[in-house]
Amino acid sequence: MFDKVLIANRGEVALRIWRACKSLGLQTVAVYSEADRDLRHVKLADSSICIGPAPASKSYLLQERILLAAQLTGAQAIHPGYGFLSENAHFVKAIEEADLTFIGPSSAAIACMGDKVSAKQAMIAAGVPCVPGSEGAVPESESEILECARKVGYPLIIKAAGGGGGRGMRVVNAESELLGAVTLTREEANAAFGNPVVYMERFLQAPRHVEIQILADQHGNAIWLGERDCSTQRRHQKLIEESPAPGVSRDSIERIGQLCVKACLAIGYVGAGTFEFLYENEAFFFIEMNTRVQVEHPVTEMVTGVDIVAEQLRVAMGLPLSITQDKISLSGHAIECRINAENAWTFSPSAGTVSDWLPPGGPGIRIESHLRPGYRMTSHYDSLIAKVIAHGATRQQAIERMKVALSELIIAGFDSNIPLHQEILKTPQFVQGGANIHYLEHYLSEREGNQMS
Ligand code: ADP
């Protein structure tokens, strides 16, 4: 049990965690960089402590400072949010060794799932379907690499075992490119993630990204909370997410959801987590597990009514999940648009001070944002500034409500991608639903071509 939680994050997710803590009567500690002393959750927290200058490498990523902040303030638990140290097994181990509670799975579970090769092996053992591939690290000798690739088949994708954030991947179309691509990806993986191990997968040509949200407690209970379709991506970064996934049969979702629950129990997973799948020709292929709360968790909250962050806190306190699987059903449809501080068409990051901020309202609309007039947007952190979530009885109603909400939303002082969202919501592919992970990139390059001609 604990009654004081340190929030080891910033921005919208820190505010989200603060809200969940308060709804459970918990005390909160905010840690902040010099650039963030005026953030909303810092002002609202019961206590707050500065942990360093603006760059994350000198503040939010410094494990010892966060542990020290917990000791100084008497916080007994740490919520990592997403990004930063949320999937860092060393950090979680240090928390465990300091007899504090990490609000998330054990360091061992994070280490297993953080390495994509061991994660896939654990999933195969638990009966979860994976993208066919090397089933382990790519071998060392050239002849073995060639042999391994022939079995996988072309096109294939070489991926870093320690990769994340859409980096450390390379598509290989023919054998002549293979050895060079393996060497390059190993070098890049070593430089970016300190781990040169790579593996191979068949490259799926036009899949959708469909993921399953799970929650598990310390008493052997695990549940799945439906799915999210996150196929609207640019450069492997999600832009719009929705639940349920349009046009995917409930039977096949049900089967995969149950397999995820089984896998959680098999690996002794505790907390919130997401199993990410590629979905092609009515088949699911596991690609990775995220061992933390995700940016897109609100769409699941809107269709299930479950407060995922509050459940994370309950489970970490040793309480059982407050809901059982038979109480989970999806009601209506929810869509989330990620509003980034960037030019809607060139995608160049935008900075400045918020001169006006007017969030939308109305039935089914939810806003997650740390913005306020006077907020200074800098280049130090992620460009996500707000999430707009629209819920409706049907997908069409959710889209219409989202359109109205975006037309009301005012963020002045720097550029945002609101116009891009407004355009995407009108494209026939989005309106129809079920487009694959490449459709947005195709749309954008066609759009650019049209404007040049
Ligand atoms: P990361 O951890 O870096 O996000 P993922 O394994 O989740 O890496 O893959 C990110 C994205 O890369 C996927 O959403 C998909 O767009 C693409 N991708 C990954 N593996 C494959 C594959 N085998 N075939 C086709 N696309 C893939």
Determine the CATH number of domain 208-452: 3.30.470.20
Ligand 1 neighbour 166 (Cβ under 6 A) = yes
Question: Ligand 1: distance of its center to the CA of 448 in Å?
Answer: 25
Q: Would the CB of 288 count as within 6 Å of ligand 1? A: yes
Q: Which CATH class is domain 132-202?
A: alpha beta
C-alpha 156 chain-centroid distance: 25
- The confidence score (pLDDT) of residue 167 equals 84
In the predicted model, what is the mean pLDDT of residues 70-75?
98
Q: What is the mean pLDDT of residues 135-144?
A: 94
* pLDDT given at position 168: 87
> How crowded is the C-beta side of 207, counted as CA atoms within 13 Å?
19
Looking at the CA of residue 230, tell me the nearest atom of ligand 1. 14
DSSP 355: S
Whether the CA torsion 375, 381, 383, 385 is positive or negative: it is negative
Residues with catalytic annotation? Answer: 292
How far apart, in whole angstroms, are the C-alpha atoms of residue 169 and residue 177?
Answer: 14
Please write the tens of the pLDDT for every residue from 240-293. Answer: 999 999 999 999 999 999 999 999 999 999 999 999 999 999 999 999 999 999
Task: Work out the pLDDT band at 114, boundaries 50, 70, 90.
Answer: very high
Above 90 in pLDDT, residue 311?
A: yes
C-alpha Rg value of the chain to the nearest Å: 22
In this prediction, residue 67 carries a pLDDT of 98
What is the full DSSP assignment across 229-269? EEEEEETTEEEEEEESPTT--HHHHHHHHHHHHHHHHHHT-
Arithmetic mean of pLDDT, 331-351: 97
- At 450 the pLDDT is 86
Give residue 315's region: left, alpha or beta (phi > 0; psi -120 to 50). alpha
- Looking only at the bridges linking them, the beta strands covering 208-216 and 222-234 are antiparallel
pTM summary value: 0.96
387 pLDDT above the threshold of 90: yes
- Placement of tokens 């990490």 in the chain: 102
87 lines ligand 1 (CB under 6 A): no
CATH pick for 4-102 out of 3.30.590.10, 3.90.1200.10, 3.40.50.20, 3.40.470.10? 3.40.50.20
**CA–CA separation, 182 and 177 (whole Å):** 9
Which atom of ligand 1 lies closest to the CA of 131? 23
201 lines ligand 1 (CB under 6 A): yes
Our separate counts of H helices and E strands in the chain read 15, 20
- The tokens for 423 are 């355009």
Q: Is the pLDDT of residue 340 over 90?
A: yes
Q: What are phi and psi of 98, to 5 degrees?
A: -85, 10
Cα angle 255, 282, 437 (rounded to 5 degrees) comes to 110
452, pLDDT greater than 80: no
Q: What is the pLDDT of the chain when averaged over all its residues?
A: 96
Going from N- to C-terminal start, the domains of the chain cover 4-102, 132-202, 208-452
Q: pLDDT tens across 198-209, in order? A: 999 999 999 999
Query: CA 311, CA 262: separation in Å to the nearest integer?
Result: 19
3-state helix, strand, coil in the chain (%, to 5): 40, 25, 35
In three-state secondary structure terms, 218 is coil
How remote is the CA of residue 235 from the centroid of ligand 1, in Å? 10
